[in-house]
Amino acid sequence: MDKDVVIQHPVSRVLWCKPALLVAIAALFVCVFSIAPNRALADELKGFQPGPGTVSKKDMGGSNARHKGREGYLERWMLRVNRSDGGWMQLSFILTNLGPGDHRAVVDIMRLGHGFGKPDTKRVFSRRSKKHLKPNWTVSSKDLNIQMGPSFLRKKGRGLEGSMKSWDHQVRFTVSDHNVAWKPGNGMVSFPDGGEYRTQILKTHAQFKGEERRLDGPWHAFQGTVTVEHAVTNLMFYLLANRMLRAQGKAGPYTIHFQEIYTPEIWNEERFGWLVVTQGSKVVASSLRASAKPTRFRQVKTKTGSRHRVPVQYVVSAPTDAGSIKLTVKTRSSVHVEDLLSALPKSAQLVLRALIQPANMYDRARLQLTLPGEKRTRKGKGLSVYSAVYER
């Protein structure tokens, strides 16, 4: 694996750690996880609060100026693309401050699909990640305008345009403007001592037109639909959550987005979830109190040997003033299992695996949606993503 590959998870910062620092990190983890759950601390947590849900220009901009001095800062603008040729992509612009003096920007391209311009070939997975150090990146705090080396993401009218170059893979694209930009209420979960997690959906199942190439080869056009998300935290991930569950997709005319954060034991495993249903440029229903109840699991073993109990069927209940939104998710095949320790040196894996086993599991899913006050259930397809820090 290329030495500049960066796994999109705060723990991946140890890719650049020295052995002595690994020992210090291990000691830190032991110290953190030995802290008894504290109800007083947990009482300081404040979940997503009611609000208009509108996304401002400033929401779309970068938060690095506000968080650059805080260890644990991670910010990501992420585009998940369902390609009309049956492929899938995740395109990310990432900012981190996960080590002393570290202010890295990362361009990350994940792709599952046929060969470039070769629709009859077997679908394969590839990933290219390129880091940039100051002064080779800039991010506006007033609007969506990101530049990382030759790569960029910015507004174009009411839509978006972007270009990404990561080693031998280049992508350039536009995203249509017919859409809802939405955040769950005030868009923030507050933690003690100024800790926070913020999230917004900038595009919901919008039209995506792009072209890609390898090295300086010919460009190959493709299209599809895309969801664009923006999230930022100033907490190390092991303090933010011990796992996260997300689902997105279409059911009939409706677009669905769901997310639930399961906080670690130190916060008494509080859960914060939301669900929004949109149609075109309209929010049909939303809830800031969504929660999932898994009914079936599968066991996943990652490259470094960690095992995870992954939900493959779960029911989301999301109360609203008009009644409850019900979403049933059943996964049908795996897109990718991302082992976040696999890129590290063996010595680092041995130290960290005894404490954490971070992984992301991406699964195709079938969705069933019932809106408040309705008996009709609409069926569709989408993606389920389960993220875990520890074995279960």
Domains of the chain: total: 2
The pLDDT of 285-294, averaged and rounded, is: 98
Does residue 250 share a domain with residue 180?
A: no
pTM: 0.88
Q: How far is Cα 207 from Cα 334, in angstroms, rounded to an integer?
A: 24
Domain boundary among 235, 270, 285: 235
Does residue 328 share a domain with residue 255?
A: yes
Domain boundary among 235, 259, 294: 235
The pLDDT of 195-201, averaged and rounded, is: 96
Q: How far is Cα 92 from Cα 228, in angstroms, rounded to an integer?
A: 10
Confidence of residue 39 (pLDDT cuts 50, 70, 90): low
Q: How far is Cα 270 from Cα 268, in angstroms, rounded to an integer?
A: 6
- Higher pLDDT residue, 10 or 312? 312
Does residue 227 share a domain with residue 189?
A: yes
The pLDDT of 22-43, averaged and rounded, is: 49
% of the chain at pLDDT higher than 70: 87
pLDDT at position 81 is 97
Cβ burial 257-286 (10 Å sphere, 16+ → b, else e): bbbbbbbbebbeeebbbbbbbbeeeeebbb
Does residue 48 share a domain with residue 150?
A: yes
Does residue 220 share a domain with residue 119?
A: yes
Does residue 128 share a domain with residue 243?
A: no
Domain boundary among 187, 215, 235: 235
Does residue 79 share a domain with residue 160?
A: yes
Q: What is the pLDDT of residues 70-121, one digit of tens each?
A: 888 999 999 999 999 999 999 999 998 876 556 789 999 999 999 998 999 9
φ/ψ of residue 46, rounded to 5? -135, 120
φ/ψ of residue 91, rounded to 5? -115, 125
φ/ψ of residue 95, rounded to 5? -120, 140
Does residue 278 share a domain with residue 321?
A: yes
Cβ burial 222-253 (10 Å sphere, 16+ → b, else e): bbbbbbbbbbbbbbbbbbbbbbbbbbbbbbee
pLDDT at position 7 is 34
The pLDDT of 223-228, averaged and rounded, is: 95
User: Closest Cα partner for 222 from 79, 86, 80, 381?
Assistant: 86
CATH number, residue 319: 2.40.370.10
47 is in which domain, residue-wise?
A: 38-235
Q: Is 296 exposed, middle or buried (0-12, 13-18, 19+ CB in 10 A)?
A: exposed
φ/ψ of residue 40, rounded to 5? -60, -40
Tokens of 140: 């506006």
Q: How far is Cα 120 from Cα 141, in angstroms, rounded to an integer?
A: 44
Q: What is the pLDDT of residues 230-289, one digit of tens each?
A: 999 999 888 899 999 999 999 999 999 999 999 998 898 999 999 999 998 899 999 999
Cα atoms in the 13 Å half-sphere on the side-chain side of 246 = 16
CB neighbour list of residue 65: distance below 8 Å, 6 or more residues apart: 141
Q: How far is Cα 123 from Cα 126, in angstroms, rounded to an integer?
A: 10
Q: What is the pLDDT of residues 298-314, one digit of tens each?
A: 999 998 888 999 999 99
Does residue 355 share a domain with residue 324?
A: yes
CB neighbour list of residue 272: distance below 8 Å, 6 or more residues apart: 47, 48, 189, 260, 261, 263
Tokens of 7: 């796994």
Tokens of 222: 């493709």
The pLDDT of 290-305, averaged and rounded, is: 94
Does residue 216 share a domain with residue 332?
A: no
- Please answer whether residues 15 and 344 qualify as being in contact, where contact means their C-beta atoms are separated by less than 8 angstroms: yes
pLDDT at position 391 is 81
Does residue 360 share a domain with residue 340?
A: yes
Does residue 334 share a domain with residue 229?
A: no
CA distances from 210 to 101, 120, 207, 221 (A): 36, 20, 10, 6
